């Protein structure tokens, strides 16, 4: 079942903060976050595993609440380059063949 992302869209001014949420109805093993700009490939941002392990970029932070099966991506001091569509991909177990992506959150950062 597809994870639900919220909000569907958000508009920020440069320098503002945003939080993007991803919720699943199933017990999760991992959450993968990607950003995709129009006409380009999704770019890996962060992976969070059950048990607290994380891997990602220094300027991106995220959390994974295992009890609620929710993950949040925190974008602080947003830059114009942060604009794009953010996707979470969730997995109940190991293996990318089990990765299910949400419908995305569109973020627009304006000057």
Site stretch for another protein (CB under 8 A), options 13-21, 40-48, 58-66, 72-80: 40-48
Query: Is residue 98 a contact residue for another protein (CB under 8 A)?
Result: yes
Query: Is residue 84 a contact residue for another protein (CB under 8 A)?
Result: no
Q: What distance in Å separates the CA atoms of residue 80 and residue 28, rounded to the nearest whole number?
A: 32
Say which residues have a Cβ less than 8 Å from residue 104's Cβ, sequence separation at least 6.
Answer: 5, 8, 36, 85, 86, 87
Q: Which residue has the tokens 């994974």?
A: 64
* Residues binding another protein (CB under 8 A): 2, 32, 34, 40-44, 47, 49, 53, 55, 87, 89, 91, 94-104
């Amino acid at each position: 079942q597809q994870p639900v992302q919220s909000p569907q869209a958000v508009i920020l001014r440069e320098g503002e903060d945003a939080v993007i949420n991803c919720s699943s109805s199933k017990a999760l093993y991992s959450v993968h976050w990607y950003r995709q700009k129009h006409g380009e490939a999704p770019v890996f941002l962060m992976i969070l595993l059950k048990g607290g392990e994380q891997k990602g970029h220094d300027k991106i932070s995220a959390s994974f609440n295992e009890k609620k099966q929710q993950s949040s991506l925190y974008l602080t001091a947003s830059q114009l380059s942060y604009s794009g569509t953010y996707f979470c991909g969730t997995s109940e177990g190991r293996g990318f063949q089990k990765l299910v992506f949400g419908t995305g959150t569109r973020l627009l950062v304006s000057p």
